[in-house]
Structure 1
Amino acid sequence: MNVDVNTDQSLSTLQILLNSNTINCKSSKLNLDFQVHIHNETNLSNQKCFIMTIHDLGSNHMQFEKFINCPQMTGLRNRVIWLNVNLPGQGPDAETMTIKKYPSLEELGEELVCILDQLKIPQVVCMGVGVGANIISYFALKNTSRCLGLIILEPIASSAGIFEAIRKKFNSFQSKKSIGNISDEIPLDHSDQCLFTESYNSKNMALFAQSFFQRSCILNQLGNLRIDAMIAVGKLSPLYTETKKFYKTLQDLNKKTPQRLVNSPYLEIDNCVNILKECPERLTSSLQYFLQGIGLLSAMPMQKIHAKPRSIISSILSDSICDEMSSSSSIALSH
Structure 2
Amino acid sequence: MCDAKLLEDVETRVTYDVDEKRHEVKTERCGTITVFTMGSTKGITDNTPVFLTVHDMGSSHTEFHSFTEHPSMARIKSRSVFLHVEIPGQEYDAGDLPPDCVFPSMQELGEDMVNILEYFRVKCVVTLGEGAGANILARFAMAFPDRVLGNILIHCTSTVAGIMEYFNDKIMNWKLQTVGMHPTAEQYLLFHKFGSLIEQEIEKAENKEKVIKSYIKKLQSRINPRNLRLYVEAFLARTDISGILKDKMKVDTLLVTGSKSSHLHTVHTMHEAMDPRHTTLLKVDGVGDVLLEVPDILAHNLLLFCQGLGLLSTLPMSRQSSLSS
| TM range, smaller chain | 0.7 to 0.9
| 1:100-249 to 2 correspondences below 5 Å | 100-179=101-180, 181-183=181-183, 187=187, 191-192=191-192, 197-198=218-219, 199-222=222-245, 223-249=247-273
1:40 aligns with 2:64: no
Q: What TM-score, normalized to structure 2?
A: 0.79
Deviation at 1:108, TM superposition (A): 0.5
- Give the whole-Å Cα distance in 2 for the aligned partners of 1:229 and 1:22: 28
For residues 289-324 of structure 1, give each alpha carbon's deviation from its aligned partner in whole angstroms, at most 9, with x where no partner exists: 0000011111111111xxxxxxxxxxxxxxxxxxxx
Runs of 5+ consecutive residues of structure 2 not aligned to the other structure: 1-18, 195-214
Going from structure 1 to structure 2, the CA distance change for 1:145 and 1:203 (only over 3 Å counts) comes to same
- What secondary structure, in the 3-state scheme, does the structure 2 residue paired with 1:173 have? coil
* Structure 1 residue 202, shift from structure 2 partner: 1.3
Asked if the contact 1:166–1:186 (Cα under 8 Å) also holds between the matched residues in 2, the reply is: no
Distance 2:95 2:127 in 1: 27
Question: What runs of 5+ residues in structure 1 fail to find an aligned partner?
Answer: 1-18, 255-261, 305-329
Contact 2:134-2:156 at 8 Å conserved across structures: yes
How do residues 1-335 of structure 1 correspond to structure 2 at under 5 angstroms? 21-30=21-30, 32-40=31-39, 48-98=48-98, 99-179=100-180, 181-183=181-183, 187=187, 191-192=191-192, 197-198=218-219, 199-222=222-245, 223-250=247-274, 253-254=275-276, 262-304=277-319, 330-333=320-323
Conservation of the 8 A alpha-carbon contact between 2:104 and 2:234: yes
Counterpart secondary structure, 2:260: coil
Higher mean C-alpha displacement, 56-65 vs 169-178: 169-178
TM-score (norm 1): 0.77
CA distance in 1, matches of 2:235, 2:188: 18
CA apart distance, 1:178: 4.4
* Contact map agreement 1:49 1:296 (CA 8 A) in 2: yes
Q: CA deviation at 1:60?
A: 0.9
Q: Which moved more, 1:284-293 or 1:211-220?
A: 211-220
Shift of 1:190: 5.2
Q: Residues 111, 208 of structure 1: CA spacing in aligned structure 2 closer, same or farther, 3 A cutoff?
A: same
3-state SS of paired residue (1:112): helix
Distance 1:282 1:221 in 2: 30
Question: What is the CA-CA distance between 1:92 and the residue it aligns to?
Answer: 1.4
Partners of 1:204 and 1:271 lie apart in 2 by 33
Query: Structure 1: how far apart are the matches of 2:298 and 2:241?
Result: 24
Q: Which has the larger radius of gyration?
A: 1
Separation of aligned partners in 1, 2:248 and 2:85 = 25
Query: Contact 1:169–1:186 (CA<8 Å) still a contact in 2?
Result: no
Distance 1:133-1:185 versus aligned 2 partners, 3 A rule: closer
C-alpha change, 1:96 and 1:42, in structure 2 (3 Å) is closer
User: Whose helix proportion is higher, 1 or 2?
Assistant: 2
Which structure has the higher relative contact order (CA within 8 Å, separation 6+)?
2
Aligned pair count reads 280
Q: Within 1, Cα distance between the matches of 2:189 and 2:116? A: 36
Distance 1:48 1:228, change over 3 A: same
- State the alpha-carbon separation in 1 of the partners of residues 263 and 183 from structure 2: 21
Task: Give the CA RMSD over aligned residues.
Answer: 2.6
Distance (whole Å) between structure 2 residues aligned to residue 158 and residue 193 of structure 1: 17
- For residues 231-287 of structure 1, give each alpha carbon's deviation from its aligned partner in whole angstroms, at most 9, with x where no partner exists: 11111101111111111111xx44xxxxxxx42121111111100011111111100
Corresponding residue SS for 2:227:
helix
| Structure 2 CA distance for aligned equivalents of residues 269 and 231 of structure 1 | 11
Letter in 1 for 2:267: T
